[in-house]
Amino acid sequence: MKEAVSEACELLRAGEIVALPTETVYGLAADAFNPDAVAKVFAAKERPSFDPLIVHIASRGDLKDVAIVPEDIAETVNKLTNAFWPGPLTLILPKHPDVPDLVTSGLPTVAVRQSAHPVFRAACKELGRPIAAPSANRFGRISPTSASAVVKELGGRIPLIVDAGACAEGVESTIISIEPREGKKPIFRLHRAGPITKEQLQEFGRVEKVREIKTDAPQAPGQLASHYAPLTPLILLEKPADFQPEEGKKYGLLSYTGEDESPYVALHDWEVIESLSPGSGKLAEAAIRLFFVMRQLDEAGLDAIIAEPVSETGLGVAIMDRLRRASAVE
């Protein structure tokens, strides 16, 4: 794997883009300080330039190179990075002037995190520069949690995919911004739910969700209402009674556990059933399998995918966030 990392860094130094694994999903990496390379990310993904990218750093000490941390939140940033970095927490902070405007879509802020994946961390360290890396898929599509999924999304568009197996978390990082309060715990604006849960963050501040953006002016990566979608229409069925199948159409079920006694499983003679956590109903397993299962159903020749909801506690918040955005595609 060391040779693969060195090859990836050689390409990154030359202004190319490569796919690298993170603990959340596979990322499409570019030298964050090279605007021409970053432009290739937008082109390969067919991503609109108004949607900013996340910048990844090798160590907490590198934060000063990409962001300017205001004094009134410095203590909070220190506490959060001590607790959750390296890991799937992205902080939105005032950007350093060295970060190209293309990376931040012209915003005065930058989204930054330190990945926990050993391959991505090794690439960051060897490159010696921050890496801009959104998910390695075409814009709006299902995020890739394996190298084979990257091939399906971007094969032929990029020169290298570093295969390190399946991602450990399975959903993208939690994104927050910090609002200080005099004499009180800060407010964390939750721009995207992810593996670092509301319950974990509440130890350090009050969490308030930011609404999804339906226009072309997101203030953070992953904030658009319609996202993470299969090509096959996905319908999130909040309750079984809402299902009204059309005659002659093929439906597949994205089930939580797939158990026969589930009211969703018994609802219809499904063409195919894929389960997030087969038989056990564990949210951690469901999060890891979410994009893989969505991709399996997307390739099953269905007219529509019916998704069963999960409990919105802990990781269930992130899972439901992705399902709602996948079903928001018109």
Give pLDDT, residue 223. 63
Among candidates 56, 69, 65, 59, which has minimal Cα distance to 111?
56
In this prediction the pTM is 0.90
End-to-end CA distance of the chain: 41
Domain of residue 239 covers 234-326
Report how far apart, in Å, the C-alpha atoms of 163 and of each of 19, 22, 26, 145, 150 are.
9, 11, 9, 11, 10
For residue 23, count CB atoms less than 10 angstroms from its CB and return exposed for 0-12, middle for 13-18, buried for 19 or more: buried
Give pLDDT, residue 66. 98
Strands (E), 117-200: 131-132, 174-181, 184-192
Q: pLDDT tens-digit profile of 81-106?
A: 999 999 999 999 999 999 999 999 99
- End residue of a domain, out of 158, 175, 209: 209
Among candidates 63, 188, 179, which has minimal Cα distance to 114?
63
227, part of any domain: no
Q: What does residue 153 show for φ and ψ, rounded to 5 degrees?
A: -85, -45
How many CB atoms are located within 10 Å of the residue 64 CB? Answer: 11
The number of distinct structural domains making up the chain is 2
| Positions of the chain with pLDDT under 70 | 211-219, 222-226, 329-330
- End residue of a domain, out of 175, 209, 243: 209
218, part of any domain: no
Among candidates 227, 150, 165, which has minimal Cα distance to 23?
165
Give pLDDT, residue 261. 85
Query: Are 96 and 63 part of one and the same domain?
Result: yes
Query: Are 134 and 275 part of one and the same domain?
Result: no
Query: Are 197 and 263 part of one and the same domain?
Result: no
Query: Are 240 and 170 part of one and the same domain?
Result: no
Give pLDDT, residue 126. 97
The CATH number of whichever domain residue 316 belongs to comes to 3.40.50.11030
- Report the helix count and the strand count for the chain, using DSSP H and E: 10, 13
Mean pLDDT (the chain, rounded): 93
How many CB atoms are located within 10 Å of the residue 206 CB? Answer: 13
Among candidates 153, 142, 138, which has minimal Cα distance to 47?
138
**Kind and range of the H or E element at 45?**
helix 35-45
Query: Are 129 and 270 part of one and the same domain?
Result: no
The encoded tokens of residue 283 equal 């949210």
Give pLDDT, residue 278. 92
What single-letter DSSP state applies at residue 13? H
Query: Are 296 and 243 part of one and the same domain?
Result: yes
Query: Are 79 and 202 part of one and the same domain?
Result: yes
